[in-house]
Amino acid sequence: MMIWWFLLAVVGVAFLLTGALRRYALARSLMAIPNARSSHSVPTALGGGVAIVVAFLAALPVLAFANVLPWVVIWGLLGGSAGVALIGFLNDHGHISVRWRLLGHFSAAIWALFWLGGLPPLTLFGFTLDLGWVGHALATVYLVWLLNLYNFMDGIDGIASVEAICVCVGGALLYVLLGTAVSDYVVPLVLAAAVAGFLFWNFPPARIFMGDAGSGFLGITLGVLSLQAAWVAPQLLWSWLILLGVFIVDATFTLLRRLLRGDKVYEAHRSHAYQFASRQFGKHLPVTLIVAAINLMWLLPIALWVGLSRLDGVSGVLLAYAPLLLLAVKFRAGELKQPE
Q: Residue 226 falls within a domain, yes or no?
A: yes
Strands 122-124 and 44-45: unpaired
Q: Residue 244 falls within a domain, yes or no?
A: no
Q: If residue 32 lies in a helix (H) or strand (E), which one and from where to where? A: strand 31-32
Q: Residue 269 falls within a domain, yes or no?
A: no
How high is the pLDDT of residue 36? 56
Q: How far apart are CA 133 and CA 219, in angstroms?
A: 23
Q: Residue 297 falls within a domain, yes or no?
A: no
Total count of domains within the chain: 1
User: Full-prediction pTM beyond 0.85?
Assistant: yes
Q: Residue 160 falls within a domain, yes or no?
A: yes
Angle (deg, nearest 10), helices 236-243 and 159-178: 150
Q: DSSP of 238-305, one letter per residue? A: HHHHHHTHHHHHHHHHHHHHHHHHT--TTS--S-SHHHHHHHHHTSSHHHHHHHHHHIIIIIHHHHHH
**How many C-beta atoms lie closer than 10 Å to residue 28's C-beta?**
11
CB-based burial, 248-280: b 16+ in 10 Å, e otherwise? bbbbbbbbebbeeeeeeeeeebebbbbbbbbbe
How high is the pLDDT of residue 127? 82
Phi, psi angle pair for 128, to nearest 5°? -95, 130
Q: Residue 295 falls within a domain, yes or no?
A: no
Q: Which domain holds residue 69?
A: 2-234
Instruction: Give me the tens of pLDDT residue by residue for the chain, a chain 340 residues long.
Output: 688 899 999 999 999 999 999 999 999 888 887 765 667 768 888 889 999 999 999 999 999 988 888 888 889 998 899 999 999 999 888 778 888 999 999 999 999 999 999 999 988 887 888 888 999 999 999 999 999 999 999 989 999 999 999 999 999 999 999 999 888 899 999 999 999 999 999 999 999 999 999 999 999 999 999 999 999 999 999 999 999 999 999 999 999 999 988 887 777 788 899 999 999 998 999 999 999 999 999 999 999 999 999 999 999 999 999 999 999 999 988 887 654 4
Q: Residue 206 falls within a domain, yes or no?
A: yes
Q: Residue 138 falls within a domain, yes or no?
A: yes
Residues 6+ apart with CB under 8 A from 182: 3, 68
How high is the pLDDT of residue 339? 44
How high is the pLDDT of residue 2? 83
